[in-house]
Structure 1
């Protein structure tokens, strides 16, 4: 078993485990619920080291810019104007250590929220364990920004998913192989065993 770069400064980042990706008619997918127990296990083990992100849609396509406007023209039901629910899944709320642990973002990567980057620096984070959705969109964008900033990333294979399972599997296979000195793939059980 290869050692993971986990220390007392490592953090667990839960990416976008929100109602919009569970029940929204345009963006929701049932598979999100399959990873809830694994995410809960990680969060319960390290509640104060767990941060949560929420993707916040534009109010409408008309209020979005550039390619974002095109996205919301394609998916109008996922906008705030359409009533898309942005809250964290109720089944995971017991593991959220208060509002200060939640970081909203209007883009795929969490690093576009200055408060998120600030807390990583304040806590002197070294490794980010990234769970959530979608492996091939918001998780990937946040992961690449993390690597660019010098963080190690651990991908818990049983705590990640996507509405596009082929895309999910491709990212899990390719990214840790291509960035093998920076990105690691492991089960939640292995992460918990090594992250003491």
Structure 2
């Protein structure tokens, strides 16, 4: 739903996807994917989510079809063994087993890629910081529908949240991992 033409298409998705695949290929045993699952039908959800899905009625499962929420094929190739954590809201920390899954893996660091920088990525990053996890945003492997918001978020992560959130490039991370 984010790659193919839709109301939620991310124009930069094809530009950042190869970088995400590079990172996944470097550390495949450490992957966990999160996947946003929209409401089943228009107007479903609690509180403001009900209004949200009235506004975005065409982005509900009923109208999209369940196949539109799958990971893109390039990332689906890593599952299994990589688990996929489904989430009904921006945050993967609410209503999912992500925190338990990471604790079982003795994970103290999360490296965040994907979309959208100013929505799901933001919620993921702030939740990880709240849990005290070392949090790294891969600035050239995240994207948004809004370049202005994306740029503002990267600046916010780097500057305002500098004690909790780090930013790095794909090249910097791969270099660290392979010891190049």
Aligned partners of 2:125, 2:150: CA distance in 1, in Å? 14
Aligned counterpart, 1:175: 157
Contact 1:24/1:78, CA 8 A, preserved across alignment: no
Count of aligned pairs: 176
Written as runs of structure 1 = structure 2, the 5 A alignment for 1:1-150 is 20-84=1-65, 85-98=68-81, 101-150=83-132
Contact 2:85/2:96, CA 8 A, preserved across alignment: no
Aligned partners of 1:123, 1:28: CA distance in 2, in Å? 33
Task: Give the TM-score of the pair, scaled to structure 1.
Answer: 0.85
Superposed CA offset, 1:60-101 (max 9, x none): 133222111111111111001102410001122223333x61
Match of 2:148 among 158, 162, 166: 166
Deviation at 1:195, TM superposition (A): 3.0
CA RMSD in angstroms, aligned pairs only: 1.4
User: SS of the counterpart of 2:174?
Assistant: helix
- Structure 2, unaligned stretches of length 5 or more? none
Superposed CA offset, 1:84-129 (max 9, x none): 410001122223333x610100010111143211111111111111
Task: Give the TM-score of the pair, scaled to structure 2.
Answer: 0.92
User: SS of the counterpart of 2:132?
Assistant: coil
Aligned partners of 1:164, 1:195: CA distance in 2, in Å? 31
Superposed CA offset, 1:10-66 (max 9, x none): xxxxxxxxxx11125211133211111100000000001011111000011332221
User: SS of the counterpart of 1:135?
Assistant: coil
Contact 2:157/2:167, CA 8 A, preserved across alignment: no
The 1:168/1:194 distance shift into structure 2, 3 A limit, reads same
User: SS of the counterpart of 2:107?
Assistant: coil
Larger relative contact order, structure 1 or 2 (CA cutoff 8 Å, min sep 6): 1
